[in-house]
Amino acid sequence: MTGEEVVSGRALVGRTLEVRDVTIVVRSGKIMAVEDESRASSRWICPAFFNSHTHLGDTVAMDIPFEGTLADLVAPPGGLKHRILESTPRNRLVSGMRASIRSMIRTGTAGFADFREGGCEGVRALASASRGLPCHPVIFGREGGEMIADGLGVSSTRDVSSLDAQVEEARKNGRLIAFHAGEHDSDDIWSALAYEPDLLIHCTYAEPEHLKACADSGVPVAVCPRSNWDLGVTASRERPPVKKMFDLGVKVLLGTDNAMSVQPDMAAEMAYMRTLYRAGSAETLDAAIGGSEVFGSPYYIEPGNTASFFIIDAARWNTRFTLDQVATITKRLNAAMIVKKVFSS
């Protein structure tokens, strides 16, 4: 984005997501000013979402009929999805990922963190799929792909040989480290935390001592509730322990996980987490935005931040009757409600 743009509306401002009638001045992709207005507006301005865990390559295996264990489906290197990825032509793989990125943009997502299989070629394929779209990828590579990606994405400490060397090399080159951990049991959480990661994914079966360690060390956790349920990882609102995470001060992020399993739609993820796990409205919305800050470009509406937000015309919908704008966004948002996006990432 170049030049200046001025947008007015009832915005969710700052890290507290305070509802205020404001005018936002954007210049060269940055928020230059947030100025209070005296007149109420029916236009709502919400920070863009950051999807903190995706596997967009799995788009080409969307809703595949399957019977078997989670390991049979997704465990490297011989899981069904890995066999599908290996046999899929590059142009179809790129086309599938690009289609999923476009679907994320339509529902208010301006950035995402993806675990990309397929080594260096897999990383390049996602970079190609993202090119020219207003949605910033943070790519975690594996199988050598971490050497040209933003970071190293580890399926589990149990799955990877020479993990010490991989982590050491990634750290030496200033790359991020992320682990799947605690997805179907808690056995790999401590071993993942021992590497002082930048991010843990899932922690579905984390216990309070694991969560306290995450909170104390500042390690954020990306939870993916819909995928956990759809893949049979959990059948309990206690898993993942979302409320306990918030209570203990863990930085909770939202992700959608496998595009094979669920649509990469953060609005749907928010509604699911808020309803099933009884998470608060503000903490749910913050989890959907907060990955942007963890990965270095916060979308919160504050001067100096990247201008990444979208606008809802509440007057067109029954949402104009709401008594809680944040609750309504986390429970009722859909792509049709978004009338404009200002995405500078």
Residues 180 and 252 in one domain: yes
Residues 249 and 116 in one domain: yes
Residues 255 and 179 in one domain: yes
| CA 91, 141, 183, 332 torsion-angle sign | negative
Residues 173 and 137 in one domain: yes
In angstroms, the first-to-last Cα distance of the chain is 9
CATH of the domain at 19: 2.30.40.10
- Residue 110's closest CA among 151, 150, 51, 53? 51
Which of 294, 311, 328 is the C-terminal boundary of a domain?
A: 294
Per-residue pLDDT at 20 exceeds 90: yes
Q: How far is Cα 37 from Cα 320, in angstroms, rounded to an integer?
A: 19
Per-residue pLDDT at 76 exceeds 70: no
Cβ proximity of 241 and 222 under 8 Å: no
Cβ proximity of 218 and 194 under 8 Å: no
Q: Which domain holds residue 139?
A: 49-294
pLDDT tens-digit readout, 275-302: 999 999 999 999 999 999 999 899 999 9
Residues 176 and 324 in one domain: no
Residues 62 and 120 in one domain: yes
pLDDT tens-digit readout, 33-44: 999 988 878 899
State the average pLDDT for the chain.
Answer: 91
- Number of domains composing the chain: 2
Residues 153 and 241 in one domain: yes
Residues 275 and 232 in one domain: yes
Residues 15 and 118 in one domain: no
Which of 279, 294, 309 is the C-terminal boundary of a domain?
A: 294
pLDDT band (50, 70, 90) for residue 4: confident
Residues 228 and 320 in one domain: no
Cβ proximity of 215 and 249 under 8 Å: yes
Cβ proximity of 98 and 134 under 8 Å: no
> 338-343 and 308-313: which strand pairing?
antiparallel
Residues 234 and 88 in one domain: yes
Residues 207 and 84 in one domain: yes
What integer pLDDT is reported at residue 221 of this predicted model?
97
CATH of the domain at 260: 3.20.20.140
Per-residue pLDDT at 208 exceeds 90: yes
Q: How far is Cα 186 from Cα 205, in angstroms, rounded to an integer?
A: 5
